[in-house]
Amino acid sequence: MDYETEEQQVEALKQWWKDNGRSVIVGIVLGVGVIGGWQAYGRYNQAQAEEASEQFASVMFAVEDDNAENNPVEIAAALQDNQSGSLYATLASMTAARVLIQEGDLDGAAAKLQWAVDHSPEAAVAGLASIRLARVLGASGKHDEALAILPVNPPEGYIGVTEEIRGDVLAAKGDAVAARAAYQKALDNAPTMTGERIVNIKMEDLADATSADQS
């Protein structure tokens, strides 16, 4: 459904939250559906879980509403401090990283994603945070750090994007052979036709750059 104004988008999100429950929205943030069994819920009593859920909802609403009084990065920081072992805190930190990237603060985003990697109670979520962190580090020119943080066994469905990022970093380092191998693996595991086309373009650009260097 298309919305004509941001206000309609915010109202739609609030209604969706009311209708579907707090736990399901976690899957939207991750972009891969509900991951795992959410074992973190069992670590906290009901009051703590509800507080974390409400704070996470506040982060999401603040991100969607540019006129929100609360800063999503600040709300996420409070959730990290108060509920560091909660999956909601991990997801809030990853959401805050997205906001910081949009603001051009790559170092701040990297710090948020590193926190998510270190504190996530779910291995799959930590793996996703590692992939996003590698992309940010690569964009910051920290190539070796980016390669080191990429997961060896990415979450299901994320092999393609992991290898694409690996290829990007290796290409930036000037290792065309290794970059091409990573891109080929990304092609073999591309989840969408769009992703496949993007990787093909990168491989063509890599070939053109290599030919130019040799001439």
Taking only the tens place, the pLDDT of each residue in 160-170 is 999 999 999 99
- Please give the Cα distance from 109 to 74 (Å, whole number): 13
48, 82 Cβ separation under 8 angstroms: no
- Please give the Cα distance from 114 to 94 (Å, whole number): 9
Is it the case that residue 84 has pLDDT exceeding 90?
Answer: no
In single-letter form, the type of residue at position 104 comes to G
Rounded to an integer, the average pLDDT of 114-132 is 92
Quote the pLDDT of residue 53: 62
Stronger pLDDT, 207 or 36, i.e. the higher one: 207
Is it the case that residue 146 has pLDDT exceeding 90?
Answer: yes
Stronger pLDDT, 41 or 185, i.e. the higher one: 185
Is it the case that residue 104 has pLDDT exceeding 70?
Answer: yes
For residue 105, is it left (φ>0), alpha (ψ between -120 and 50) or beta?
beta
- H/E element, 215: none
Q: Exposed (0-12), middle (13-18) or buried (19+): which is 145, by Cβ within 10 Å?
A: middle
Q: Which pLDDT band, with edges at 50, 70 and 90, does 65 fall under? A: low
Q: Please name which of 24, 23, 18 lies closest in space to residue 52, comparing C-alpha atoms.
A: 23
Provide the token pair at 52.
Answer: 């974390």
Q: Tell me, what DSSP letter sits at residue 84?
A: T
Stronger pLDDT, 5 or 93, i.e. the higher one: 93
Q: Centre a 10 Å sphere on the Cβ of residue 99 and count the other Cβ atoms it contains.
A: 19
Q: Please name which of 197, 122, 79, 116 lies closest in space to residue 131, comparing C-alpha atoms.
A: 116
End-to-end CA distance of the chain: 52
Quote the pLDDT of residue 33: 34
Rounded to an integer, the average pLDDT of 114-133 is 92
